Each structure stands twice: as C-alpha cells, then as structure tokens.
C-alpha cells in the first residue's frame, strides 16, 4: 500500500482496490464500492484545510458543482473524481448562470475566508492571506496586489522603478473600481484548468482559492487564461445578474492580482504582462 492509497482508505473508510498516479502529488484511487476518488498531497497542512473548506463553502451556495470532500488531514485531501466530457455552449450558459448565483450567495467581507478555512491559504502554489476588509479598492490593493508586487520586486522579477506604475494604479483604484458592490463568494482561482466540463454535461469547479471578493475578479480570470465558450458563459451570467456598466474596461484591474501571483511563481514574462495591464488601466 502506498502513502496515497493508505490516505484514501483512512479518509474514506473504504478498502482500496486500485491506484493510478497522475503526478507526484496526485492520484486516482478506486475504492471497493466502485467509486473513484482523487487523492492530493500538500506540504503545508493549511493547504488541504483551505481547499476542503473552500470546496464545502462553494457547495453550500447550492449553485455551482464541485467535487465532494471525503476527508483531509495535515498532508492529504480526498475528493470525488469528476468524469470529464466535452465543452458545449449549452453547458457554458448554465455555468454562467450558476456562477452568478454563487457570487450572489455572498461573503461576510472582502477577504473573508470560508468557514473553518485558515486565514493563511493559497492560490495555486503561492501563499494567500485572507484578511477581511470592508472597502474593496483598499482591500484589493493592500491584500492582493501590493504583497505580490513587493515579493516580485524582492525576487528581481519586477524592477524597483517599474513598480511605481502598479503603485499609482493602487492609489487610483477608488476611481477605477466602478460602482461599489457587496462581497461576492468567489472561487478565487478561476482559470480554465480549474473548470472541468463533466461527462454529465455540467461544469464542475476544482482547486478553489475561495474568499470574499469582487465578482468581476472571477470573470476577469476566466478571460485571462482563456475558457471554452467564454462569451456564452458571460451571456448566462448577464441573464442572471447583469454586470455594472464598464465592467469590461475594468478587466485588467482585476487581472493584475493573478498576473502578479504568476510573476512571483513563474517569472518575468508575467511581470511584463502585469505592468502592461497597469499602464493600460491608468491610461484608459
């Protein structure tokens, strides 16, 4: 029995009959009742706790589909496997409506973590601090943009002289943010790789960095890295919960956070993209 299969047996209470490794930290495990689960390993206990809490919080909205959580401990998370199918326009429209309903379920504050979720969480492989705030522009600048900008500067990925354009954007955020909105319940890491098109014809979401935030942030991330049938997703969203005027022009402002995260994790190319987005938002 491997460490992955031992964790699956312990956290599901079932006998394991098969294992298919997907990567060093990920495997599909078959249980004796025929179900297939995904077993994930994390080095930081906070990562498994944050992901489990995020999945449960998203599920609690009764809007989007997420894998069920079987259990987690300091090193392992066991969730349902999602059998995958093909993307379709019909599923995309439904997903847009469901995403709008998820956002409308709300959060106690901007930056609020899921119930039972740690304040020190993750977005992908990067640490992400969930510190609640009442004012979105101030919170977004102070707890999403500037921490990663400083880290990118410290790493040498962003040069000190270049950082001023992002700092100026943060200063001007109150005038660039659009109409004030209540905190939305965000997936928080909604790039295409975390959007699964299920064999049941539905869209499923995995790997959240869930927190309270601005709903336009999830939509901006879908556009940043591409998503099949994105215009249909937006069509369904707008039917359910129309976005405030000028939302498309604010996309770059909301993309700045994930771009700086990627700059910290993956280097200069994303830093240049972040700087370009900041310049464009300031000149728009």
Beta-ladder partners of 120: 129
Beta-ladder partners of 121: 128
Structure tokens at 168: 């100026």
- Per-residue pLDDT band at 25 (split at 50, 70, 90): confident
Q: What share of the chain is helix, strand, coil (3-state, %, to 5)?
A: 50, 20, 35
- Residue range 107-123, pLDDT digits in tens: 999 999 999 999 999 99
Instruction: Determine the number of helices (DSSP H) and then strands (DSSP E) in the chain.
Output: 10, 11
| CATH number for 62 | 3.30.200.20
Portion of the chain with pLDDT greater than 90, in percent: 93
Are the beta carbons of 194 and 207 closer than 8 angstroms?
yes
User: Over 80: is that where the pLDDT of 1 sits?
Assistant: no
Residue written as tokens 């977005």?
A: 123
Q: Does residue 234 sit in the same domain as residue 147?
A: yes
Q: Which of 26, 48, 80 is the last residue of a domain?
A: 80
What's the pLDDT at 139? 98
User: Over 90: is that where the pLDDT of 24 sits?
Assistant: no
What's the pLDDT at 140? 98
| CATH number for 135 | 3.90.1200.10
Portion of the chain with pLDDT greater than 70, in percent: 100
Tell me the backbone φ, ψ of residue 3, rounded to 5 degrees.
-60, -35
- Per-residue pLDDT band at 96 (split at 50, 70, 90): very high
- Per-residue pLDDT band at 23 (split at 50, 70, 90): confident
What's the pLDDT at 284? 74
**Of 98, 189, 207, 218, which is the active-site residue?**
189
Helices 215-224 and 251-266: crossing angle in degrees, nearest 10, is 60
- Judged by phi (left if over 0) then psi (alpha if -120 to 50, else beta), residue 112 lies in beta
Q: Which of 49, 80, 111 is the last residue of a domain?
A: 80
- Residue range 123-171, pLDDT digits in tens: 999 999 999 999 999 999 999 999 999 999 999 999 989 999 999 999 9
Is residue 116 flagged as an active site residue? no
Q: Does residue 255 sit in the same domain as residue 150?
A: yes
What pTM value is reported for the model? Answer: 0.95
CA distance 131 to 109: 9
CA distance 42 to 258: 21
Total number of domains constituting the chain? 2
- Average pLDDT taken over every residue of the chain: 96
SS3 call for 203? strand
CA distance 100 to 96: 6
- Residue range 237-248, pLDDT digits in tens: 999 999 999 999
Name every residue whose Cβ is closer than 8 Å to that of residue 244 and which is 6 or more positions away in sequence: 178, 179, 181
- DSSP letter (8 states) at residue 21: E
Structure tokens at 175: 């005038």
Q: Does residue 47 sit in the same domain as residue 98?
A: no
Q: Which of 43, 62, 80 is the last residue of a domain?
A: 80
Q: Does residue 123 sit in the same domain as residue 251?
A: yes
Q: Does residue 211 sit in the same domain as residue 142?
A: yes
Structure tokens at 6: 């031992």
User: Over 80: is that where the pLDDT of 204 sits?
Assistant: yes
Structure tokens at 193: 């790789």
What's the pLDDT at 216? 98
What's the pLDDT at 43? 85
Q: Does residue 170 sit in the same domain as residue 55?
A: no
Structure tokens at 207: 């790997």
CA distance 123 to 54: 11
Other CB atoms within a 10 A radius of the CB of residue 146 amount to 16
**Start-end of H helices in the chain:** 3-12, 45-60, 89-104, 136-140, 146-155, 163-176, 215-224, 230-240, 251-266, 268-283
Q: Does residue 109 sit in the same domain as residue 76?
A: no
Beta-ladder partners of 123: 126
- Residue range 77-90, pLDDT digits in tens: 999 999 999 999 99
Q: Does residue 234 sit in the same domain as residue 132?
A: yes
Q: Does residue 133 sit in the same domain as residue 73?
A: no
CA distance 218 to 93: 16
- Per-residue pLDDT band at 185 (split at 50, 70, 90): very high
Q: Does residue 203 sit in the same domain as residue 166?
A: yes
What's the pLDDT at 74? 84
Q: Does residue 212 sit in the same domain as residue 169?
A: yes
Q: Does residue 20 sit in the same domain as residue 110?
A: no
Full domain range(s) for residue 132: 89-283
């Amino acid at each position: 029995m491997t460490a992955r299969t031992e964790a699956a047996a312990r956290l599901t209470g079932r006998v394991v009959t098969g294992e298919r490794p997907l990567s060093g930290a990920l495997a599909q495990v078959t249980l004796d009742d025929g179900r297939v689960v995904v077993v994930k390993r994390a080095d930081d206990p906070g990562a498994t706790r944050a992901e489990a809490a995020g999945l449960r919080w998203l599920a609690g909205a009764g809007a989007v589909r997420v894998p069920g959580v079987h259990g987690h401990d300091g090193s392992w998370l066991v969730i349902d496997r999602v059998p995958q199918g093909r993307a379709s326009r019909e599923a995309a429209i439904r997903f847009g409506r469901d995403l709008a309903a998820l956002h409308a379920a709300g959060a106690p504050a901007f930056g609020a973590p899921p119930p039972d979720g740690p304040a020190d969480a993750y977005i992908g492989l990067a640490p992400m601090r969930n510190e609640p705030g009442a004012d979105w522009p101030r919170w977004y600048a102070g707890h999403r943009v500037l921490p990663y900008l400083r880290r990118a500067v410290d790493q040498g990925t962003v040069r000190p002289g270049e950082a001023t354009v992002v700092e100026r954007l943060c200063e001007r955020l109150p005038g660039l943010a659009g109409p004030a909105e209540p905190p939305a319940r965000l997936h928080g890491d909604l790039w295409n790789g975390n959007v699964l098109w299920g064999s049941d014809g539905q869209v499923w979401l995995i790997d959240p960095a869930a927190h309270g935030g601005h709903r336009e942030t999830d939509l901006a991330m879908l556009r940043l890295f591409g998503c099949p049938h994105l215009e249909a997703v937006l069509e369904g969203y707008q039917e359910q919960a129309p976005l405030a005027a000028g939302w498309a022009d604010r996309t770059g402002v909301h993309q700045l956070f994930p771009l700086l995260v990627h700059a910290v994790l993956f280097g200069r190319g994303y830093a240049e993209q972040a700087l370009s987005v900041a310049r464009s938002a300031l000149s728009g």
